[in-house]
Amino acid sequence: MSAHTELPQIDAEPTGSCCSPGGSCHSDAAPATAGAVTAVYQVTGMTCGHCEGAVSSEISEIAGVTSVTAVAATGEVTVVSEAPLDEEAVRAAVDEAGYELVTKA
């Protein structure tokens, strides 16, 4: 003997979901920002993913920063911001993370 349970009807059209048409949860690309400024800095002392995360985290806290990509192997840190950043603010953030900003590439 088997029991039969009625399941409620579920609307086939998702609404308000990031997975609905036009959603963004599966996209790795950051949305394009008109007028964005990209700057590349050379940082010494990064040797691993933890280092990259520490530098990225500190720089991300600077007002106007929209993305940061740090690469320990090359020492390059790419920063995208809404407007040009004060290099001393970037230097202070890198210093706070425990590394040294050598130059803006």
* Pairing relationship of beta strands 76-81 and 65-71 according to DSSP bridges: antiparallel
Q: What kind of architecture, by CATH, is found in domain 37-104?
A: 2-Layer Sandwich (3.30)
Tell me how far apart the alpha carbons of residues 90 and 14 are, in angstroms, rounded to a whole number.
42
Domain map (residue ranges) of the chain: 37-104
pLDDT at 104 (0 to 100) = 84
pTM above 0.85, yes or no: no
- Per-residue pLDDT reduced to its tens digit, 10-60: 444 444 433 434 443 333 444 455 689 999 999 999 999 999 999 999 999
